[in-house]
Every structure is written in structure tokens, then in C-alpha cells.
Structure 1
Amino acid sequence: MEIIQIVGFKNSGKTTLASKMIAMLSESGHTVASLKHHGHGGAPIGLENTDSAKHKQAGAVISGVEGEGILQLSAASWDVEQLIAIYQLMGVDVLVMEGFKKEPFPKVVLINREEDFSLLEQVKNIQAVITSLSFDTPVMYPVFKTSKIDEFYEWMKRNFLKR
């Protein structure tokens, strides 16, 4: 299973890019899945005051609920490797991860503001950068303008999916 991460600060366009990448990969015949990091704190979405929450409070290591094709699992904490193992069981070709900045997987970094450039020093395994800004110094990875996002998709088809 190939994994590619999309990282950027809040409201940088991660979800929009992830959705377009998923569509492009799916249209090219790949089985694609997504995994998003919920980094806003607080309780998991939609699990407060539910039977699943009661099960978790009672001591269940994992509490899950399925309905209408949606499976939601809750645990005290999830290790990213555990989450990835679940996706591998599903026979996924490509996993598009949104967030999880500290993980070591290949990354596409979104830069929208001058202060976002600090992200390039914070993350590892950068494969490409998408930005509307100009770079003052040369970098070791391709940089794509947000106004020419189709060039990024073509690059991804040629380079990333060959692994």
C-alpha cells in the first residue's frame, strides 16, 4: 500500500487537495482510502453520550459502531501504525493521509502564507510543495503553483505511483 501525506497549517487547503487526489487516483483505477488527523482536540466526532462511549468508559479497549456502511471506532489512543494496519486489511492501493505531520511517510506540503515556510523545517520526507508564494532559495523537491495544480497531478501520476 502506498501512503502519501498532505500537510499544512489550518485552512491551507489540505481537504480540498486530498479530495482531488483521491478522485484522480480512483479514476486511474486505484483503490484509494483516506485517513484524517483530528487535531482540534476534544471528544471524537459523534461519540458523546452514545452506547459506544458507555462501552469505552466501562473499559473496552476499542469501541465501535457500524451503520449504513459507516464504521466508527473509538479507543483510548490510536497508534498511526495500528490505523494503517486496518487500511491494509481492506486491500487499499493508496492511502491519502491528511495531517500527522510528524509521521515519516512521503509528504506534499501546502504553503499559503510566509509564516508557513517554517513547516518545511518541521517535517521530513517532503516530496513536493504546493504554494502560491515564491521561493527565495532553491529546494530539493518540486514546487508547484496553486494556480497550476494540474501540473502537480501529472507529476504525481508519473512519479509517485511508480513506487
Structure 2
Amino acid sequence: MKVFQIVGVRKSGKTTTVERLIGKLKQKGYSVGTVKCINCPVFSLDGNAKSNTARHAAAGADVVAAFGRNETDFIFPGGQDIDRTLSIMSFCNPDFCIVEGGYEFNLPRIVCLRSMSELSDRLTEKTFAVAGVLADTLCSVGELPALSALTDEGLEKLVFMAEKNVPDLILPVGRLQRPESCRNFCRGCRKHAAECPEEK
């Protein structure tokens, strides 16, 4: 399984880039998994504390599966652990896994930008392309190609860059220090509004 991440500020084009890459990778015959990093400290897929699955988790189950007609959801109580998450993902054996977010993970990455001022805190030695809003108007950012996922040519090149630059995953994933400007909590959460200044 080859794992890479897409990072960037809110409204920088991250999710659109992920969506377009999923479609193109699937079109080329690859299987694809995704991991969405969620920074809200009170996030729960099962927000209803009275639901049966929430009661299972509260009783101490190490893993709970909600087995439905249209989907099956696995709930692993406990904090974020990218190594465990990717280990679980690897059992599904996708060719590629795209992680949206997760500044602290030392994975090959595409940085989505709205402006050049956002680059320095998100750039790592494993960054292999720039995408998102800014890439719609530029061809490159320094030595990095700026590739718009909204154009067929840009999307083809992003997939080629992922094929070329993303090795098979080796666990554990290395860790990076999260830049001060890259928030570690949610935006717009009423409970944490006092902690959520405007994103830089």
C-alpha cells in the first residue's frame, strides 16, 4: 500500500484534490483508501450516547462494528493513532491510501495552497507537488510543480507524481513537529469557539 497525504488550510482545495485523485486512480485500475484526519477533540462518529454501538463502546469494547445494509463502520474507541489506522487500512489492501490532513505525519505530501504565504509551514522534504486553488494560476512553486486537479492535464500529472514519488508504506510512520500556524483543533465548534482563532 502506497500512502501519501494532502495538507492545506481550509478552502485551499484539499478535499476537491482528494476527490479528483480518487477518481483518476480508480480510472487507472488502482484500488484506493482514504483517511480523513479530524481535529475536533469531541468528534465521534456515533454522537448519540444512547445508541447501541455507543453503549457497546462505553461498556469497554475494544472495537465495535456497525453492520448495516449499505455500509459497515468500525469504531475504535481511543485517541488518534495513524500507525494503527494504516495497519487496519492495509487489511483492505488498497493500492493507494490518501490521508487528508495530519501535519505531524512524515509522509509523501501534496500541499494545497490559496497563497504563497501558506507554503513554508507545510513544506517538507517529502513534498512532491503543489495543488489546490493557487495551482489553478501557477505552473510551479520553486522547484515543485503546481498542478491543478481541476484540469485533465494537471490531474494526470498529479497521479504520475504519486506513482513516481510514493513508496510502499513502512510502519511506524515518522513524526514531524506540527507548525504553530497549523491548528490542532477544529474550526467552528461551538464548544471550542474560544480556542479557535481565525486560521492563518
1:3 equivalent in structure 2: 3
Distance 1:98 1:138 in 2: 21
Identity %: 22
Note closer, same or farther for the CA distance 1:65–1:109 as it changes in structure 2 (3 Å cut). same
Gaps of 5+ in 1: none
8 Å CA contact 2:33–2:94 kept in 1: the answer is: yes
Between the aligned partners of 1:40 and 1:113, the Cα distance in structure 2 is: 25
The one of 93, 101, 104 equivalent to 1:102 is 104
Aligned CA distance change for structure 1 residues 54 and 124 (closer, same or farther; 3 Å): farther
Residue matched to 1:41: 41
Partner of 2:75: 73
Cα pair distance change 1:29/1:148, threshold 3 Å: closer
Q: TM-score, normalising length from structure 2? A: 0.69
Structure 1 residues 41 and 118, CA gap change in structure 2 (3 angstroms): farther
Instruction: Give the CA RMSD over aligned residues.
Output: 2.6
Can you list the C-alpha shifts for 1:42-62, whole angstroms capped at 9, x where unaligned? 231334222222222222222
Q: Secondary structure at the match of 1:41?
A: coil
Task: Name structure 2 gaps, 5 residues minimum.
Answer: 168-200
Deviations 1:59-117 (A, max 9, x none): 22223322122313131123101111111111210101111121111111011135423
CA distance in 1, matches of 2:79, 2:130: 30
Aligned equivalent of 2:52: 51
Q: In structure 1, the residue corresponding to 2:74 is in which secondary structure?
A: strand
Answer whether contact 2:3 2:107 (CA < 8 A) is retained: yes
Structure with greater helix share of residues: 1
- How far is the alpha carbon of 1:38 from its aligned partner? 1.3
* Partner of residue 60, structure 1: 61
Partner residue, 2:87: 85
How many residues in Structure 1 have an aligned counterpart in Structure 2?
A: 160
Q: Provide the rounded CA distance (Å) in 1 between the counterparts of 2:128 and 2:74.
A: 31
Structure with the bigger percentage of strand: 1
Cα shift at 1:148: 6.5
CA distance in 2, matches of 1:138, 1:18: 20
Asked if 1:139 corresponds to 2:165, the answer is no
Taking the aligned partners of 2:144 and 2:102, their CA distance within structure 1 comes to: 20
Contact 1:6 1:107 in 2 (8 A): yes
